[in-house]
Structure 1
Amino acid sequence: MRLKLKPVNDSLKRKAPPAGIVLEFPNINRVPFYYNRAKYQSILKLEKKKAWDKVLPLLAEYVGNFGIENFYKDTKLLWRLGQLYERLGQKDRAIAYYRLVLKHHRTDIRQVQQYYDSLEQKNKDLYVPLNYYYELVEYRKSVATFKPPRGIYTNMGDAINSKAEDYGPAVHSDEELFIYTSRRKGVKGKGTDEDLYFSRFEGGFWQEGQSFGKPINSVYNEGSACLSRDGKTLYFARCDSPDGLGNCDLYSATRLGDGSWGQIKNLGAAVNSNAWDSQPTLSPQEDTLYFASDRLGGFGMSDIYFTYKQKNGQWAPAQNLGPVINTRESEVSPYFHPLYQVLYFSSRGQLLNFGDFDIYKSYRVNDRWQEPRNIGPLVNGQGSEYYFTINANSTNLYYARSEPSDLKNLDLYSFPLPMEAHPLAVTKLTGVLTDSVTHKPLNGIISIIDLDNGIEVASKYLREDGSFDFDLIDNSRYMMMIQSPDFFSIEKEIDLKQDTVLKIMTTLIDYSIPLIFKNLEFDEGKAEIKDAMKPTLDRIVLFLVDHPQVRLSIEGHTDSSGDPNANIELSQWRAFSIQKYLEDKGQLAPGRIDAVGKGSSEPIKPELTIEDRAVNRRVEFKLIKPKDAATGGGDW
């Protein structure tokens, strides 16, 4: 069943992250290597004199002229430029150049890594391990009013998948047509070749996959296709063909008037190389084609390239997408979102990796590509994620993966698109959590729940300075939850309208002091739980559910009026009533809560007035922390 989001207004469509630091290298596709002996010698002389303010503009200009080869041959100059910016207080520019060093180095760069880590410490994302994240979800499931949806991989079923490998998905903009690559028996009659298949979405289901047939599928290998918005032009890769320039080339096919496909054309030497060229994707305007290639002259094993339509209708010579997107490793599987200026791709050379190949997104702002962002651990696991696509409504991610029982066989799956991957998640929610008494930062886990769209957001640890940040969707409602062994969970609903900064303060729990809540008042002579008491008791339930190692002692107390024995019995029943409510609501294991009635034996103050008696009528909660739990956050 397909999910449908509410229509996105124009302001959201135009919304984009701030441009930030923009690094321009105009020579990337002009010269392979830049060197100017006179300018280089001038820089060295000024460096010997430690004239840093004079070195900076000269070195910045020199580095700005870099060609592709400079990034691995002259990585030290990027490093020195970053050091200069850091020395002169321009931290953001220093970080940008350190990133380039880490992406393109081919030697030992431990010192650069240390510099970069020290500068980025306050911005580093500390994702909660995925298995622990789902444990947190399970802990809260029975009691939390707001709980994050659990992302589920859904196999697309036998209609799409076969016993052979199925991968390379592309969903058409209206999500009525699904195109993919399969190694099932095709034109050759055996399962070793690659062919293109398609499926239509009808009656709420994907229909049986069908081969594109001849002439698109041939005795050669075809795969990795994308379709124009009007459905009349198909771009795809064909390998080992006699008319190819390399082992795989990009081709186009035209849908003819009778519905068949024809006019298959190799995109030519301006686009293809004598190497591997594959995995095409169109820009929203369909005037630019992005693809992956392992041709010589790139930054790494394979890079993302692009070509654009010229006025004469021909494709321009292909160009490298540059050193921000491409690294010394491999970049593959580009996918351009059909509505927004967002490029998704897989890489094993970016700076935050959860596995081998991870999926990243990069925004195009003012004709420049921003630093790629990992789309998070809810999608990227310990293996490789590539061959993927996202539907136009940004509700589902489709990609190929294998089951642990059969790692060699790829099947196509759908997965609810998490917040980190959403193209509209560009509004910042930042904040810091401190102790209300000492004003020192606190630690814990922070979770964000999308209340409007049900989009999952991976939980993070608070950083050492108590700070956090999330990229969210503007004009949406969220529930923020912060959990820790050291304080009661914090829940705050946020109606996000723009970039928002929160300053949150809370009080640490002192396990040596009993907790007394004023609104836990029973009717005179009775032990039934009243509705007014439930919000407070629910907070205690949540704490116990979130912290399964903590035990609780409940003590009921009365004033001195009446028969002492009757008071002990009444206080005991009141403590039992609270114990039963907490255990039932939180489905807590027996033995975690002790309940005892003290009657009037332990007054807080002498009962000289009616107010004094009210103070002595109370319920005390004593939280018992495990003896082996670490201080300052325990296992968090």
Structure 2
Amino acid sequence: MIIRILFCFLLLPFFLQKAHCQLRAVSESINLEDSSQLAEQKRIQTLISFPNVSRIPYYTDKQALQAIKKYSNAKNEAALYPVLYDYVSKFGIENFFKDNMLLWQLAALEEARGDTLAAIQLYKLVLKHYQEGVELGLVQDQMKKLLLENKDDFVPLKYYYELVEFRKEIDTLRPPQGVYINMGNEINSNAGDYGPALSPDNSLLLFTSKRNTIRQGLKERENEDLMFSRNESGYWMPAEPLTPVNSPYNEGSATISPKGNQLVFTRCGAPDGVGSCDLYISDMQEDGSWGTARNLGKSVNSLYWDSHPSFSHTGDTLFFASDRTGGFGMTDIYFTHKTVGGAWSAPKNMGPVINTRSSEVSPFYHPGHHVFYFSSNGHLLNFGEFDIYKSHRLEHIWGEPKNIGPLVNGQGSEFYFTIDAQSKNLYYARSVENKMANLDLYSFPLPMEAQPLATTQLKGSLRNEETGKPFSNGIVSIIDLDNGVEVAPKFLRSDGSFEFQLINNNNYLIVIQGDEFFRLEEIFFLDGDKEFHRKVASVSSRLKFENMKFDNGKAELKTSMFADLDKIIDFLLDNPDFTLKIEGHTDSDGDPQLNLDLSQRRADAIKSYLVEFGKLDPSRIEAIGYGSAKPIVEEKTEQDKQLNRRVEFNIVRK
């Protein structure tokens, strides 16, 4: 019996843990051997570093602005470009919303010069920081021409899972499924539990909980405390309060230094506080306990809300979120570093690539890679409210953030999260009802889109092998065969293209399905950026295969027929709203009744194969033998007879 292993992969990529822009965005890996591309990449990095962001609130130069206006009116792009480029590169924070149109103007110039990479980066900045009055629709239209990744590229999970459910009775292999796992009663309580943080060796889990209450007079009030749990032999022990860090005030959002000797957390409402919520630090004592916490002071904390700290690899840089004045949006991400004397420096804004006119929170520096994660409701690709994004370090700046995809980011908000050092699991709070009340901590296998090493580009296209035209109605699935990491499937774009970011040096299976073509399946090894351009046969209403030829006077199937029959099986399994009519035909030699019987037996044999090996519903397949009643040519030669001896497949949508 044929074991249809490849088929199961087609619709189960989740279970395995529109002209297309041919240049990569800044956040993506580049071929360092391409010196011209590397030089261009560095030029763009220099532009988007915006050194004035943390130095001055607003940059202006009347003489330069007059020159920009003069050259613009004269449509002298050659003279305009260097002046405008220099001016934009000196932007302060306020320039991004006050002079947003200059960003747009420079983006259009870069595009006109043929520099799509720079144009994309600048158009993104326009959209991230636009204010009322800007011709937003025009910018969005221009972006659509560049066809960047958007939410519509991804297959909706509900639809995909429905297809999987339909096929569960016929799949012979069950790849592992990424499942949200509640961390259990040892960690979660009947109150809100959220804000997880792991020690560098993953042995200690810190999180915030509202399980403890404080009595004030005759009433009890909810109190946020830090809790901890130790991992022993793969199991999390019952959570305990983190004393003496906890106080009558609210504590939460902790981070542990790489050496495990310092703890930074948030405390709100304390009398020694600078603002509403401040960052505090505590040192590990010789006996393994945490010492008295001290406020990081006015050099770091503001008069407002400062929270969500995260250490860098070396422990000398601290990232955090704040709603202090002077930022790009509602809440921005900042960083501070230790000076030579051990004090923490004045915080600097992470800049306009990371921060937007909306809110960025929950910074997280991956413990094993130079990859920066955070949550935002202001970036361009967004599946819900707050989504999680990742950004790779590019020398002295951070690259364009990428959404980590719909397997994690849903219709609600995803923040307060952490990732283990091995990039196996994402830990964060969620509720089944998608409400903020009664949050529980969950773990979830880290999908491909969130993996720190998923930087190698696979891009390709699918076309009709007869006409050369692109197929635009189809689903592309990628399966990691080595690690079982889930990859969110995508639709083919209008030009037949697709694109994924994958982990290099792994074996993958690509499966492309649709109702206009026969499924494509191919295993490949990813060794650097790869282009995957293929042509496949179109599915017309009436099909005839060259290999569907029986021996003279016989109705037994031959092995040469199996590949074509398997294509039919795959198509019918992929498209349950189609039925099949099998038509058997013979030439005019011999007795007409015997020919009729022979053609019927041949059609029946094919139907039996499809039903038995494809597990197809027999009611979807009609087998009819016509004998010699329907010739396609007049029989004058032996070749004419061969043409009339045929089996045709008529595929019909219900």
Normalising by structure 1, what TM-score?
0.89
Is 1:37 aligned with 2:62?
Answer: yes
Q: How many residues align?
A: 610
Q: Which amino acid aligns with 2:582?
A: I
Cα separation, 2, equivalents of 1:420 and 1:316: 34
Q: Which residue of 2 aligns with 1:82?
A: 107
Q: 2:72 aligns to what?
A: 47
Q: Is the 8 A contact 1:541 1:586 kept in 2?
A: yes
The match for 2:401 is 372
1:312 has 2:341 as partner: yes
Q: Select 1:480's aligned residue among 504, 510, 514.
A: 510
Q: Can you list the C-alpha shifts for 1:73-114, whole angstroms capped at 9, x where unaligned?
A: 221222222233233333332222221111111214334433
- Residue 290, structure 1, aligned to residue 319, structure 2: yes
- Deviations for 1:431-472, whole angstroms, at most 9, x for unmatched residues? 122222222221122111111111111111111111111101
User: Per-residue deviation at 1:129?
Assistant: 1.6
Q: Distance in 2 between matches of 1:487 and 1:144?
A: 21
Identity among equivalent pairs (%): 50
Residue number among 487, 503, 520 corresponding to 2:533 in the alignment: 503
Q: 2:609 aligns with which of 565, 575, 581?
A: 581
CA distance in 1, matches of 2:263, 2:357: 31
SS of the residue aligned with 2:422?
A: coil
Aligned counterpart, 1:27: 52
Q: Which amino acid aligns with 2:568?
A: I
Contact 1:426 1:472 in 2 (8 A): yes
Question: What TM-score, normalized to structure 2?
Answer: 0.87
| Alpha-carbon shift at residue 604 of structure 1 (Å) | 6.1
Report the alpha carbon displacement of residue 66 of structure 1 after superposing the two structures with TM: 1.4
> Which amino acid counterpart does residue 54 of structure 2 have in structure 1?
N
Distance (Å, rounded) in 2 between the aligned partners of 1:323 and 1:506 = 44
Cα distance, 1:141–1:270 mapped onto 2, change above 3 Å = same
RMSD: 2.8
Distance 1:405 1:221, change over 3 A: closer
Worse overlay, 449-458 or 187-196: 187-196
Compare 131-140 and 518-527 and name the one that shifted more: 518-527
Task: Note if contact 2:28-2:399 (Cα within 8 Å) is conserved in structure 1.
Answer: no
8 Å CA contact 2:359–2:377 kept in 1: the answer is yes
Residue equivalent to 1:202: 232
Shift of 1:215: 1.3
Q: Which residue of 1 aligns with 2:199?
A: 172
2:211 corresponds to 1:184: yes
Q: 2: CA distance between counterparts of 1:148 and 1:97?
A: 42
Question: Which of 369, 373, 396 is residue 425 of structure 2 equivalent to?
Answer: 396
Task: Please state whether the residue corresponding to 2:315 is helix, strand or coil.
Answer: coil
* Cα separation, partners in 2 of 1:266 and 1:487, compared to 1, 3 Å: same
State the alpha-carbon separation in 2 of the partners of residues 239 and 588 from structure 1. 62
**Separation in 2, partners of 1:449, 1:473:** 11
Deviations 1:392-432 (A, max 9, x none): 11121111111128652211111111111111110011112
2:616 paired with 1:591? no
The aligned amino acid for 2:227 is Y
SS in 2 for 1:261: coil
Cα distance 1:251–1:612, how it changes in 2: closer, same or farther (>3 A)?
Answer: same
Give the match's secondary structure for 1:437. coil
How do 1:62-141 residues align onto structure 2 when only pairs under 5 Å count?
Answer: 62-108=87-133, 109-121=135-147, 124=150, 126-141=153-168
Matched with 2:274 is: 245
Mark the CA change 1:263 to 1:546 in structure 2 (over 3 Å): closer, same or farther: same
Q: Is the 8 A contact 2:300 2:336 kept in 1?
A: yes
- TM superposition shift of 1:578: 3.0
Q: Deviations over 1:312-371 (max 9, x none)?
A: 222221110000000110000111111111111010111111111111111111121111
**Aligned AA (1:68):** I
Deviation, 1:609, is: 9.1
8 Å CA contact 2:458–2:499 kept in 1: the answer is yes
CA–CA separation in structure 2 for the residues paired with 1:432 and 1:406:
40
Task: Report what 2:29 is aligned to.
Answer: 17
Query: Which stretch of the first structure deviates more once superposed, 536-545 or 608-617?
Result: 608-617
Task: Report Cα offsets for 1:456-493 as digits up to 9, x if no partner.
Answer: 11111111111111101100111111112111011111
Residues 522-550 of structure 1 deviation map (CA, whole Å, 9 limit, x = unaligned): 797565x6666444333211100111111
Give the Cα separation in 2 of the matches to 1:554 and 1:323.
62
Partner of residue 11, structure 1: none
Structure 2 counterparts to residues 257-296 of structure 1, below 5 A: 257-296=286-325
> SS of 2:344's equivalent?
coil
Distance 1:116 1:198, change over 3 A: farther
Please state if 1:332 is matched with 2:358.
no
- Alpha-carbon distance in 1 for matches of 2:301, 2:549: 75
Distance (Å, rounded) in 2 between the aligned partners of 1:203 and 1:504: 48
Q: Deviations over 1:231-286 (max 9, x none)?
A: 22211111111111111111111221222211422122221111111111111222
**1:503 to 1:29, Cα distance in 2 relative to 1, 3 A:** same
Aligned position for 1:57: 82
Task: Determine the C-alpha separation between the residues in 2 that align with 1:259 and 1:44.
Answer: 65
* 1:102 and 1:112 in contact (8 A); partners too: no
Aligned twin of 1:572: 600
Matched, 1:430 2:455: no
Deviation at 1:509, TM superposition (A): 2.0
* Residue segments in structure 2 that go unaligned for 5+ positions in a row: 1-15, 17-26, 31-37
Q: Is the alpha carbon distance of 1:556 and 1:51 closer, same or farther for their aligned partners in structure 2, counting shifts above 3 Å?
A: closer
- Cα distance in 2 for partners of 1:207, 1:517 equals 65
Distance (whole Å) between structure 1 residues aligned to residue 99 and residue 650 of structure 2: 63
- In structure 2, which of residues 446, 458, 470 is the aligned counterpart of residue 417 of structure 1? 446
- Using a 3 Å threshold, how does the CA distance of structure 1 residues 206 and 562 change in structure 2: closer, same or farther? farther
Structure 2 SS opposite 1:488: coil
The one-letter amino acid paired with 1:317 is: A
Report SS of the residue matched to 1:403. coil
What is the one-letter code of the residue matched to 1:598? Y
